[in-house]
């Protein structure tokens, strides 16, 4: 039986048996008030101990763990729990009730970021409740695919060695669980399917599908692909004359860019920086982030895309439009602050800046001139300025673009505009006619860029699909920008390309 994935939070493909996350049962007998208070105090100590150990092991989660520590140590929590115990509640119920108030208020917020923090609080609750008893939140089973309502960060941290994939009913792209799954290369998807314990299940985020009881053919193909995958390490192979670039959305991702030895960053989605806040970042705050990124990349190139909002990327405090240029005209101050912070941070002269959702040369020139005016006004060096080619109109107007230093083709948006294929389903372009048509259109852009010496790359998701990447090389693309975890796929497609 085949199902659609509703949302992909972390990419990958995997096969395994379903295991449902155990829920903590409610049938705990209420002990004396003193005993319940003692249970709570011991649980606080155990939880803080656990967090301290994790802080050593999981450096990436340091901030997240500090916040957990703060919540557990909060004197108001203790006060509220003790009060509820005095009123006759068990320690477990007292913890849940005390946290529910905070959770309810966050859930009402308009901000996705704040809504996703609900899971972090639930994680604290679950940690404290687990530590009331000696039951551990750790599964000792053979590797499995986890099926859960909401994935808790502590669960994935404790069990990641055994988890082949995660299917959850709810979850969000900026949640800590997503970040952790990406770190461990665990596919994590949202889907509304009823599973039975031990169902054999295949997840493939490249095709956006989940299959229960897959056919023998699919299983054989899976084993072949996994073997292929393990043939390649997570390090870029030698790829002379071609560029392996990375798509990132935070400075944290840059560590993989360096570890896997990418040539640089082809797309830094800066809007994700703004999603982690409920207000616009100041010049100084942005400058620090960009400078850290630029310093980390050192001599490697890094291409920042000015914030690209609208569609599925909502930022509560910004007005969003579909057309890129409108977003900057409507949020003039943030655009100017962003450009200024980027130019100020450009200490290694290794940055380029590109604009999203451009439709015409007029729009590109308008933004380019705006950027150059800012650079001149403050005496900054002018970096390479380019555009994303991701709208139907830009494709139709390709011959107009004479001032661009580089073009990056964004197939996620482009395939939607051209063929009405939604971005989540872009990875399943196995319709040969559509793929051929897209390749023909990309070929026109390649010829144009070759003629005018314009650097060209592709940064949509399809660049991370081995067979399509191979076709892109064949028609003359020399730079692909993919999520860091797709390094193996780049290695494979490049190897096949030069051995053909």
Kindly list the residues in this chain that would bind ligand PEP in the complex (CB under 6 A).
267, 269, 308, 390, 410-413, 459-460
Shortest distance, position 48 Cβ to ligand PEP, whole Å: 39
Shortest distance, position 271 Cβ to ligand PEP, whole Å: 8
Residue placing its CB nearer to ligand PEP in the complex, 49 or 252:
252
Main-chain dihedrals φ then ψ at residue 492, nearest 5 degrees: -65, -50
Which does residue 460 touch among Mg ion, ligand PEP, none (CB within 5 to 8 A, set by kind)?
ligand PEP
Q: How many residues bind Mg ion (CB under 5 A)?
A: 3
- Contact predicate 178/117, CB 8 Å: no
Which does residue 92 touch among ligand PEP, Mg ion, none (CB within 5 to 8 A, set by kind)?
none
Main-chain dihedrals φ then ψ at residue 93, nearest 5 degrees: -65, -35
260/491 Cα distance (integer angstroms): 11
Residue placing its CB nearer to Mg ion in the complex, 391 or 491:
391
Which does residue 459 touch among ligand PEP, Mg ion, none (CB within 5 to 8 A, set by kind)?
ligand PEP
Shortest distance, position 345 Cβ to ligand PEP, whole Å: 21
Q: What is the DSSP letter of 310?
A: B
79/456 Cα distance (integer angstroms): 60
Residue placing its CB nearer to ligand PEP in the complex, 92 or 269:
269
Residue placing its CB nearer to Mg ion in the complex, 410 or 484:
410
Shortest distance, position 213 Cβ to ligand PEP, whole Å: 33
Shortest distance, position 443 Cβ to ligand PEP, whole Å: 18
- Contact predicate 469/493, CB 8 Å: yes
Shortest distance, position 424 Cβ to ligand PEP, whole Å: 11
93/81 Cα distance (integer angstroms): 9
Shortest distance, position 281 Cβ to Mg ion, whole Å: 21
Is residue 204 at the binding interface for Mg ion, with CB under 5 A as the rule? no
Burial of 483 (0-12, 13-18, 19+ CB in 10 A): buried
- Contact predicate 148/21, CB 8 Å: yes
348/222 Cα distance (integer angstroms): 44
Main-chain dihedrals φ then ψ at residue 409, nearest 5 degrees: -85, 120
Shortest distance, position 388 Cβ to Mg ion, whole Å: 6
Instruction: State whether the Cα torsion 323-328-331-335 is positive or negative.
Output: positive
- Contact predicate 446/397, CB 8 Å: no
Shortest distance, position 163 Cβ to ligand PEP, whole Å: 27
Which does residue 68 touch among Mg ion, ligand PEP, none (CB within 5 to 8 A, set by kind)?
none
**Binding string, residues 412-441; x marks residues near Mg ion by CB under 5 A:** -x----------------------------
367/385 Cα distance (integer angstroms): 10
83/210 Cα distance (integer angstroms): 47
Q: What is the DSSP letter of 306?
A: P
The two structure tokens encoding residue 68: 């957990």
Residue placing its CB nearer to ligand PEP in the complex, 11 or 47:
11
Distances (CA, A) of 200 to 14, 19, 219: 11, 10, 10
Residue placing its CB nearer to ligand PEP in the complex, 36 or 271:
271
Closest CB to ligand PEP: residue number: 410
Residue with tokens 């990124």: 293
Shortest distance, position 160 Cβ to ligand PEP, whole Å: 27
Determine how many CB atoms are found less than 10 A away from the CB of residue 2: 11
Q: Are strands 188-190 and 163-170 parallel, antiparallel or unpaired?
A: parallel
Nearest CA among 465, 6, 419 for reference residue 206? 465
Closest CB to Mg ion: residue number: 413
**Binding string, residues 378-417; x marks residues near Mg ion by CB under 5 A:** ------------x-------------------x--x----
Which does residue 15 touch among ligand PEP, Mg ion, none (CB within 5 to 8 A, set by kind)?
none
- Contact predicate 119/150, CB 8 Å: yes
Residue placing its CB nearer to ligand PEP in the complex, 64 or 268:
268
Residue placing its CB nearer to Mg ion in the complex, 85 or 275:
275
Residue placing its CB nearer to Mg ion in the complex, 413 or 461:
413
Residue placing its CB nearer to ligand PEP in the complex, 99 or 267:
267
Q: In the complex, which residues of this chain contact Mg ion (CB under 5 A)? A: 390, 410, 413
């Amino acid at each position: 039986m085949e199902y659609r994935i509703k949302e992909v939070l972390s990419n990958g493909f995997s096969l395994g048996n379903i295991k449902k996350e155990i829920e903590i049962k409610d049938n705990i007998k209420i002990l004396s008030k003193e005993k319940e208070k003692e249970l709570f105090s011991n649980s606080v100590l155990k939880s803080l101990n656990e967090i301290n150990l994790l802080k050593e092991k999981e450096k990436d989660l340091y901030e997240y763990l500090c916040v957990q520590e703060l919540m557990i140590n909060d004197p108001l929590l203790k006060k509220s729990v003790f009060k509820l115990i005095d009123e006759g509640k068990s320690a477990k119920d007292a913890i849940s009730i005390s946290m529910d108030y905070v959770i309810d208020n966050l859930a009402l917020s308009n901000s996705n970021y704040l809504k996703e923090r609900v899971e972090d609080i639930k994680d604290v609750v679950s940690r404290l409740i687990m530590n009331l008893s000696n039951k551990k939140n750790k599964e000792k089973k053979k590797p499995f695919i986890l099926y859960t309502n909401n994935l808790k960060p502590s669960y994935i941290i404790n069990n990641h060695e055994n988890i082949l994939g995660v299917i959850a009913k709810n979850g969000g792209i900026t949640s800590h669980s997503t970040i952790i799954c990406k770190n461990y290369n665990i596919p994590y998807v949202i889907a509304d399917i009823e599973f039975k314990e031990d169902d054999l299940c295949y997840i493939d985020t490249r095709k956006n599908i989940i299959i229960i009881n897959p056919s023998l053919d699919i299983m054989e193909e899976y084993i072949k692909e996994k073997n292929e995958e393990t043939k390649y390490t997570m390090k870029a192979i030698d790829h002379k004359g071609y560029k392996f670039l990375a798509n990132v959305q935070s400075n944290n991702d840059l560590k993989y860019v360096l570890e896997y030895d990418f040539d640089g960053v082809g797309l830094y989605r800066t809007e994700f920086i703004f999603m982690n806040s409920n207000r616009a970042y100041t010049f100084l705050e942005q400058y620090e982030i960009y400078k850290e990124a630029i310093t980390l990349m050192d001599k490697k190139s890094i291409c920042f895309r000015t914030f690209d909002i609208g569609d599925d990327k909502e930022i509560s405090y910004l007005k969003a439009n579909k057309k890129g240029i409108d977003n900057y005209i409507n949020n003039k101050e943030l655009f100017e602050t962003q450009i200024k912070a980027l130019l100020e941070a450009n200490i290694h002269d290794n940055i380029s800046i590109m604009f999203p959702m451009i439709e015409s040369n007029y729009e590109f020139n308008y933004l380019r001139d705006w950027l150059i005016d800012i650079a001149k006004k403050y005496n900054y060096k002018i970096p390479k300025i380019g555009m994303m080619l991701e709208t139907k109109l830009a494709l139709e107007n390709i011959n107009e673009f004479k001032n661009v230093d580089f073009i990056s083709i964004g197939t996620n948006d482009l395939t939607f505009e051209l063929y009405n294929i939604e971005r989540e389903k872009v990875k399943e372009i196995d319709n040969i006619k559509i793929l051929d048509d897209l390749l023909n259109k990309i070929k026109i852009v390649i010829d144009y860029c070759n003629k005018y010496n314009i650097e060209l790359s592709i940064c949509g998701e399809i660049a991370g699909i081995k067979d399509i990447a191979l076709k892109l090389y064949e028609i003359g693309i020399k730079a692909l920008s993919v999520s860091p975890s797709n390094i193996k796929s780049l290695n494979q497609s490049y190897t096949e390309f030069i051995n053909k």
